[in-house]
Amino acid sequence: MTPLRRILFPRGGAAGGAARPPRSSLVGRRRARGLFLAATIAFAGTLVHAQDFRTGTVAERYLLLCANCHGRNLEGGGTGPSLLKDTWLHGGDDDSIARSIRNGFPEKGMPAWGAAFPEKEIRAMVIYLREARAKAIRDQARASAPPATVTAKSQLHDFTLETWVDQVVEPWSLAFLSPNQAIMTEKRGFLYLIERGKLAARPISGLPKIYVGGQAGLMDVVPHPDYATNGWIYLSSSEQQTKADGTPGAFTRIIRGKLKDGVLIEQQTLFQAKLEHFIRADWHFGSRIAFDGKGYLFFSIGERGQNEHAQDLARPGGKIHRLHDDGRVPADNPFVGDPAAVPSIWSYGHRNPQGLAFSPVSGELFSTEHGPRGGDELNLVRRGLNYGWPVISYGMNYDGTTLTELTAKEGMEQPIAYWVPSLATCGINFYAGELFPQWRNHLFLASLAAEQLLRIEVAGGKVISQEVLFKDLGRIRHVITGPDGALYVLLPTRIVRLTPAP
């Protein structure tokens, strides 16, 4: 892509300087792209054409419109202040920043950009500013990783973090089968038992063939609520099939089985997509599993990178599903009466949900969802509702182009929390132990990109408070409460255990 500087100033003129490119050069380039001259705005002595910043990425628009005053790296130094500091003269929340961009401050030399480009472009600029500030904070605060054992302070409890199991490879999920025995998945396709904190020498055998590539692999593992009696273990994984046209495709599959002498036996497939629904892509498989305590099995599947599939009830991707624990479709599922709909669907309009947990207080289902670039969500999931993707979103495309100008629409649910920039929200768990009494029933959230473990207090379907317990130990895939009351957190190469500080 030709840099905007070369397009706008081919003779060496600088933004804010006297020189500017010949009009014929700009018009010729726009005509070659099939664009139409919409408007011109005089800014800092330079003639800026609206179409030049209605195309391209948000970073290019920032350099064209904002860098002259706020600095190329948002550091300030021109007539405008730094955008990296938490000092906002006219409000620092998303709506206030968007309003400042939209309406401007002409008396201070900042034009109103609302007439020049649509709301989705303004939203993208808000995300861009948020990302830049978060990166600046990380760069200043990043320190060397703490040792294997460390004591830390938090708002409600001080805790010790220590390595419980070492030498694992990308652990995806962990579940306890008894006080002394746990089971763990590794994304690369291995299932391991852990006895009294010691990893088994060999993985469990007998698993079905698992497709591993990109984000595909072996994902969640959850025992049946009555595991001690029936022995059922539930697994989500990706499988690959050859489609009718001869091309490979992959999708999420849910199975259950029982353990015997290190082998997974009595396997049953509870959910498997139709062959025509398999997608040739290696991302957005989901997939978490949760039981509601009433005999129902819930699981999530991402939209497999096909945005429009999340709104299509005839496709299983981008949905949260509900089945009986033996795989039967409940008669009261919301779309059972629609012959065109996938009958297991419970809710839709999801992007890539990788966290799923029921509140022990309200019995309500909560889900975390990966947004695009910005806009990760925490949702309160209810029967038959539409959660909006990709029609509404608080994020933008990864390449910096805008996705949608809508963050809300009638008939589509709002998240109870969202994060800009993205944390890469993943596994969640409501703390149910006794070691940390003030944490009881609080929601704990693992994040990948931000490398944070968050504590979130939820009441009445709303987020009351958030706290980062620790960060910068690596990407965090999941967190669960152990039968001993400790919190177990999955890092890239080890599982750590949180207990009260001495």
For 198-232, give the DSSP string.
Answer: EE-SSPPB-PPP---STT-SEEEEEE-TTHHHH--
pLDDT tens for 140-174 read 655 445 466 888 999 999 999 999 999 999 999 99
Paired strand residues for 366: 357, 380
**DSSP line for 272-284:** E--GGG-BS-SS-
Chain region(s) in the chain for CATH 2.120.10.30: 150-500
CB 440 within 8 A of CB 459: no
Distance CA 211, CA 412 (A): 34
The CA R_g of the chain, rounded to the nearest whole Å, is: 25
Q: Taking the mean position of all CA atoms in its chain, how far away is CA 297?
A: 22
The conformation of residue 368, written as its DSSP 8-state character, comes to E
**What are the pLDDT tens digits along the chain (502 aa)?**
333 333 233 333 333 333 333 433 433 333 333 332 233 344 333 344 444 444 568 877 777 667 666 767 777 655 567 777 766 667 777 788 878 888 877 766 677 777 667 777 888 888 888 777 777 766 665 544 546 688 899 999 999 999 999 999 999 999 999 999 999 999 999 999 999 999 999 999 999 999 998 999 999 999 999 999 999 999 999 999 999 899 999 999 999 999 999 999 999 999 999 999 999 999 999 999 999 999 999 999 999 999 999 999 999 999 999 999 999 999 999 999 999 999 999 999 999 999 999 999 999 999 999 999 999 999 999 999 999 999 999 999 988 888 898 999 999 999 999 999 999 999 999 999 999 999 999 999 999 999 999 999 999 999 999 999 999 999 999 999 999 999 999 999 999 999 999 8
Query: What does DSSP say about strands 462-471 and 452-459: parallel, antiparallel, or unpaired?
Result: antiparallel
Measured CA to CA, the distance from residue 347 to residue 344 in angstroms comes to: 9
CATH hierarchy code of domain 4-141: 1.10.760.10
Nearest to 120 by CA among 404, 418, 408: 404
Token reading at 112: 């109103």
Residues of the chain with CATH 1.10.760.10: 4-141
DSSP β-ladder status, 198-199 and 190-195: antiparallel
Pairing of strands 263-272, 365-369: unpaired
d(CA 349, CA 302): 10
Q: Please list the helix, strand and coil fractions of the chain in percent, rounded to the nearest 5, in that order.
A: 15, 35, 50
What does the pLDDT read at residue 7?
A: 28
Q: What is the pLDDT of residues 475-486, one digit of tens each?
A: 999 999 999 999
One-letter amino acid identity for 489? Answer: V
Asked if 449 and 423 touch (Cβ cutoff 8 Å), the reply is yes
Q: How far apart are the C-alpha atoms of 218 and 209, rounded to whole Å?
A: 10
Rounded CA-CA distance 105/280 in Å is 49
Amino acid at 231: G
Looking at domain 150-500, its CATH superfamily turns out to be: TolB, C-terminal domain (2.120.10.30)
Task: Determine contact, residues 423/452, Cβ cutoff 8 Å.
Answer: yes
pLDDT tens string 179-224: 999 999 999 999 999 999 999 999 999 999 999 989 999 999 999 9
| Residue 169 CB burial class (10 angstroms; 0-12, 13-18, ≥19) | exposed
Report pLDDT for 5.
34
Residue 342 CA to residue 252 CA, distance in Å, equals: 14
Instruction: Point out which residues pair with 321 in neighbouring strands.
Output: 299, 345
The pair of structure tokens assigned to 308 is 């429009």
Q: Burial letters for 92-108: b for 16+ Cβ neighbours within 10 Å, e otherwise?
A: eebeebbebbbebeeee
pLDDT given at position 108 = 62
Q: How many helices (H) and strands (E) does the chain have?
A: 8, 27
pTM higher than the cut 0.75: yes
Specify the pLDDT at position 198.
97
Place of tokens 């704990």: 444
User: Is the separation of the CB atoms in 372 and 398 below 8 Å?
Assistant: yes
Distance CA 489, CA 426 (A): 12
Distances (CA, A) of 179 to 196, 224, 485, 486: 8, 15, 10, 12
> What pLDDT is attached to residue 49?
45
Phi, psi of 128 (to 5 degrees): -60, -45
> Active-site residues: which are they?
284
Task: State the burial class of residue 123 (Cβ atoms within 10 Å of its Cβ: 0-12, 13-18, 19+).
Answer: buried
